[in-house]
Chain A
Amino acid sequence: MKCDIVLAGVGGQGILSIATVLGFAALENNLYLKQAETHGMSQRGGAVQSYLRLSDTPIFSDLIPFGKADLILSVEPMESLRYLPYLSNSGYVITNTTPFRNIVNYPQIELIMEEIRNLPHSVAIDAEAIASEIGQSKVSNMVMLGAATPFIELPLESIEKGIREIFGRKGDLMVDLNLKALYAGREFAQANR
């Protein structure tokens, strides 16, 4: 088993919560893991990425080589395109459709969506809308993680356990909302892959 994921977003969007849950699930399954993060200046609203590598054999590089990523999981549509050189021919782009506009020259969203639709394998999901339906816009990152689960060879129970572990200190309600978000995202991706 090998799964290389580029997590993409904008500083402050909290992509590391996704990485933390997956990291927990990977450890549960005795997998090797490497996860490179962006700290420092870019965290102030700049483009940020995390390279998450899971494998049942030892992993050498902290960075994913070009053309080897199985998944680009992006919480922002334009950011999903920034890492295409990393994506393998058979790899999937799973992206949120809500733009994060903190720059004046943000491209037209229709053009971005067209680029995403033209990719061989992609799932575009309005995570904010699904999260609001659930009743808490904060859980949109777990919607995104849910949408990625059909493409990651990790038992769903381990990911659920990861959510319980990581959000446990925020109370049962937050755990339930995040689990609901996970299932909703997963369902959407399964129906729209």
Chain B
Amino acid sequence: MTKKLLLGVEAIGQGAIDGGISGVYAYPGTPSTEITEYIQENVVAISRNIHREWSANEKTAFESALGMSYAGKRAIVCMKHVGLNVAADPFMNSAMTGINGGLIIAVADDPSMHSSQNEQDSRYYGRFAMIPVLEPSNQQEAYDMTRTGFELSEKLGTPVLLRITTRLAHSRAGVIPVESAITENALSLPSDPLQFILLPAFARKRYQTLLDKQSKFEYASEVSPFNSFIDGKDYSLGIVCCGIAMNYLMENFPDGCPYPILKIVHYPLPSKMVKKLEQLVDKMVIIEEGYPIVEEQLKGFFGYGKPVLGKLDGTLPRTGELNPDIIARALNLKSESGSAIPELVTNRPPALCKGCSHHDMFSALDEVTAQYGDGHVFSDIGCYTLGVLPPYHSGFTCVDMGASVTMAKGAADAGLFPAVAVIGDSTFTHSGITGLLDAVYEKSNILIMIGDNESTSMTGGQDSSANGRIESICAGAGVDPEHIHVIQALPRNHEKLVNLIREEIAYNGVSVIIPRRECIQKSARRASESKKQKSGLCAQ
């Protein structure tokens, strides 16, 4: 088979197709989005009619994937690290139920927070749920481990967490896929009819089953073709290197590393392999991207045993992604930098696109809220978060998907007036609706601005499942229709929007204003697509 140039996320998508999935489920989130997009656009996936629509959020995505597994077929569910917080409930309980068809949870962490609000390490979730975790170190492994991960999942009867970080997600390299895809599973119900019923009496048995499986999970790590011990000549130091850190380490040793290395890409930690390394060397350094989870497991609580170095003692930095230079410094190797960045170079933060409809929402909102001073606008996750940066002043919180609505409600409960939530259409669909129900039930005095650009724009313009139905959802949730307004977000409607915001702030209750205009990036893409299609027709 010929080599394909694939991003890490695309390699996972190809691995899932070749691994025999019948469905991918996901909500977009950087850096995980393109796993799903790759499958959506793949010719084989389309011809096999693999399920590939976006879900409303990570929890609904996860549960659908678990349902497909229940029905005997293989599924992958994809999300960014904070998405797993949203899906944590089904995630933890899927470890209890186990699986029927193979199930992989692909989670992309974002150390350095390139596009995220924290840098949590999903490997903790794997350990928390007590399930195997795969952490490929390069694009080829991302492909291979995904493809074979479904077999592993079915063999061990457990969901498997596949963890990558931003750099692998969005870096391209040659990947050699297999000749032919594994055939999809046939529809089949679980052989044990009680397996998926977590009533206390059954759940206690399932928990014991999960505990009993732990030794099998560890054995799978010990014999994994992906974990490896690479001997060295110098036993003064042993290196435990996890996932992508392996590449940064080897970059420093193009002719081979003098120290023995234990490469870990399949967890739980294989204790025999770790002990073998420990016996050989004077001390160990743990190199892992994210939190020091392996280091914490190996470092002696009482200070006995051989020294374990890493992020906890400052050998490696605690925050941010790794790179070859950080590892060079940790190992006392020479690392030379080019010349410094000249002082005149200024930061260039992201900004709203020219002509974006959010400009119209923020300029009106700023005008009205100026009289109340700072602190009255609660923002959310999306392009419109940029309203917190100059020239706008529209946002004093940004915490998690949907929190604008509920934090505004809580602040209003505390007596803050006015309390205005700013949320996008897709984020509203993801996690805003439930918060709205609370606000309606309590007649909270809040104004919700739903910036409806008919798109999930920050991640590339995906459709949201509530597209075109935002106002009817608000009415259905119980917002008084007289206080739901849809207005076209255009400069010429500025005065009208300012007046609407004033009126609805004055109204004591839940009101919703929906400034609507399609994302300009999305309309530009659509225009160029239709142009292409037209020219294609002419050519025929």
> Which residues from chain A sit less than 8 Å from chain B, CB to CB?
10-12, 23, 27, 32-47, 51, 57, 59-63, 65-67, 69, 78-79, 81-82, 84-89, 91, 102-107, 111-112, 115, 119, 169, 171
List chain B residues, Cβ under 8 A from A34: 171-173
Nearest to B247 among chain A residues (CB) is: A60
Tally of A-B residue pairs with Cβ under 8 A?
158
Tell me if A87 and B348 are in contact (CB < 8 A): no
- Complex CA gap A67/B337 in Å reads 4
Indicate whether B187 reaches chain A with its CB closer than 8 angstroms.
Answer: no
List chain A residues, Cβ under 8 A from B30: 39-41
Binds A, one of B296-304, B320-328, B436-444: B320-328
- Complex CA gap A10/B346 in Å reads 13
Indicate whether B339 reaches chain A with its CB closer than 8 angstroms.
Answer: yes
Tell me if B248 and A84 are in contact (CB < 8 A): no
- Complex CA gap A79/B341 in Å reads 10
Tell me if A41 and B350 are in contact (CB < 8 A): yes
Tell me if A81 and B174 are in contact (CB < 8 A): no
Task: Knowing A81-B341, A86-B338, say if A60 contacts B346 (CB, 8 Å).
Answer: no
Tell me if B247 and A41 are in contact (CB < 8 A): no
Tell me if B168 and A65 are in contact (CB < 8 A): no
Indicate whether B250 reaches chain A with its CB closer than 8 angstroms.
Answer: yes
Tell me if B170 and A36 are in contact (CB < 8 A): yes
List chain A residues, Cβ under 8 A from B251: 60-61, 65
Task: Knowing A27-B5, A46-B350, A105-B346, say if A37 contacts B170 (CB, 8 Å).
Answer: yes
Tell me if A45 and B351 are in contact (CB < 8 A): yes
Nearest to A10 among chain B residues (CB) is: B348
List chain A residues, Cβ under 8 A from B167: 36, 62-63
Tell me if A61 and B323 are in contact (CB < 8 A): yes
Task: Knowing A10-B348, A36-B170, A40-B30, say if A69 contacts B338 (CB, 8 Å).
Answer: yes
List chain B residues, Cβ under 8 A from A103: 346-349, 351
Partner of A84, one of B247, B341, B353: B341
8 contacts between A and B (CB under 8 A): A23-B5, A40-B459, A44-B353, A65-B324, A84-B338, A85-B337, A88-B338, A112-B344
Distance in Å from the Cβ of B289 to the closest Cβ of chain A? 12
List chain B residues, Cβ under 8 A from A86: 338
Indicate whether B345 reaches chain A with its CB closer than 8 angstroms.
Answer: yes
Distance in Å from the Cβ of A114 to the closest Cβ of chain B? 9
Indicate whether B340 reaches chain A with its CB closer than 8 angstroms.
Answer: yes
At the interface, is chain B mostly helix, strand, loop or mixed? loop
Indicate whether B7 reaches chain A with its CB closer than 8 angstroms.
Answer: yes
> Which residues from chain B sit less than 8 Å from chain A, CB to CB?
3, 5, 7, 30-31, 33-34, 114-115, 167-174, 244, 246-248, 250-251, 254, 323-325, 328, 335-342, 344-353, 383, 386, 390, 458-459, 532, 535
Nearest to B536 among chain A residues (CB) is: A169
List chain A residues, Cβ under 8 A from B458: 40-41, 44
Q: Which 5 A/B pairs are nearest by Cβ-Cβ distance?
A: A40-B115, A40-B30, A46-B350, A61-B251, A62-B171
Nearest to B324 among chain A residues (CB) is: A65
Tell me if B336 and A46 are in contact (CB < 8 A): no
Tell me if A39 and B170 are in contact (CB < 8 A): yes
Nearest to B249 among chain A residues (CB) is: A60
List chain B residues, Cβ under 8 A from A36: 167, 170-172
List chain A residues, Cβ under 8 A from B115: 39-42
- Complex CA gap A43/B169 in Å reads 16
Distance in Å from the Cβ of A35 to the closest Cβ of chain B? 4
Task: Knowing A42-B350, A43-B350, A66-B335, say if A33 contacts B174 (CB, 8 Å).
Answer: yes
Tell me if B244 and A47 are in contact (CB < 8 A): no
List chain A residues, Cβ under 8 A from B173: 32-35, 59, 62
16 more A-B residue pairs beyond the given contacts A33-B172, A36-B172, with a C-beta to C-beta distance below 8 A = A23-B5, A27-B5, A33-B174, A34-B172, A40-B459, A42-B115, A44-B383, A46-B348, A60-B251, A62-B167, A66-B337, A82-B341, A84-B338, A84-B339, A102-B348, A107-B344
- Complex CA gap A36/B168 in Å reads 8
- Complex CA gap A91/B337 in Å reads 12
Partner of B250, one of A46, A60, A106: A60
List chain B residues, Cβ under 8 A from A11: 350
Tell me if A38 and B114 are in contact (CB < 8 A): yes
Task: Knowing A42-B114, A46-B350, say if A60 contacts B174 (CB, 8 Å).
Answer: no
- Complex CA gap A111/B343 in Å reads 11
- Complex CA gap A81/B347 in Å reads 12
Task: Knowing A69-B338, A84-B338, A89-B338, say if A40 contacts B248 (CB, 8 Å).
Answer: no
Tell me if B336 and A78 are in contact (CB < 8 A): no
- Complex CA gap A102/B356 in Å reads 14
Distance in Å from the Cβ of B453 to the closest Cβ of chain A? 13
List chain B residues, Cβ under 8 A from A91: 338
- Complex CA gap A23/B5 in Å reads 8
- Complex CA gap A104/B169 in Å reads 33
Distance in Å from the Cβ of A11 to the closest Cβ of chain B? 7
Tell me if B31 and A40 are in contact (CB < 8 A): yes
Tell me if A65 and B325 are in contact (CB < 8 A): yes
Nearest to A107 among chain B residues (CB) is: B344
Tell me if B338 and A66 are in contact (CB < 8 A): yes
Identify which of B169, B170, B342 gathers the most chain A CB atoms within 10 Å of its CB: B342
